[in-house]
Amino acid sequence: MKIGILANKNKVKDENTILALTEFLKNNGHTTVRFFAPTEIDGVDVLIVLGGDGAILHSAVISARKNIKIIGINYGTLGFLTEYEKSERDLIQDLLSQLEKGECRILKRSIIEVAVLGHTFYALNEIALQRDNGLRTTKDSQIMKLFVETQSGSDVIAGDGVLFCTPTGSTAYSLSAGGAILVPEVPVFMMTPICAFSMRARPIVFADSEEITVRIGRGNSILLCDGVTIAKLPEGTELRIKKAPFTADFPVRDGSDFFAKVRNKLNS
């Protein structure tokens, strides 16, 4: 197989680590390509990411759109999305062999899409719509008002904003904001209010076949995709949110246990 290697230079500072992985893969019959930035990702069957969850998030959408599978080796702090710890590097060949034979499970993680102001953006974890104090004048309210329309009905959310997350993102920002943990394979999205002004505002789970419309009724805001600021949005802006037509595919090794990961990674 043709395998790309992308390392977070802030986490993997020893070049010999990458050279050793490259040599290991070549000795096992693979062709390797070194990428130095996510924008370079192209023309490989599998991308091996050396870093933490941030490095995978920066690579996931680009890889997904090019049908490139992702395997992470944790060199970060949490590594919830990675399949291996750095001490397990040599075990990766077992998974690659199973992948070549079509014998390993592929976890297809859904990606969320948002269309706004004539542009389309994607996120593996979540889309966040938050109030922007930097844009606020003395005449503006500190509380945002958002009008949400779905196939199931409509609602008004007042507060600091709202998150729309995938099952993958349910263990990230949404969890900190009071959302539930979702198993990665379930075909749903979750809407999680951020510091809501009403006690009745609670996370709501939708089928990911729905298209959700959000209109900013009051307050200037910022749009973030996977933690990256994408745009500043004025009052009256409308966003359309739905499931992307592609998935981020993660080969999974035998014995992978989501609940064990939750216990071990999120219980610190």
Q: What are phi and psi of 14, to 5 degrees?
A: -95, 110
Question: Buried (b) or exposed (e) across 127-165, using 16+ Cβ within 10 A?
Answer: bbbbbbeeeeeeebeeebbbebebeeeebebbbbbbbbb
Q: Are strands 2-7 and 31-35 parallel, antiparallel or unpaired?
A: parallel
Report how far residue 209's alpha carbon sits from residue 37's, in angstroms, rounded to the nearest whole number. 33
Q: Six-digit token pair at 139? A: 């005449």
Report how far residue 225's alpha carbon sits from residue 123's, in angstroms, rounded to the nearest whole number. 5
- The residues annotated with a catalytic role in the active site are 53
* Distance of alpha carbon 244 from the chain centroid: 12
**How many degrees, rounded to 5, is the angle at CA 173 between CA 170 and CA 178?**
75
Please state whether 79 falls in left (phi above 0), alpha (psi between -120 and 50) or beta.
left
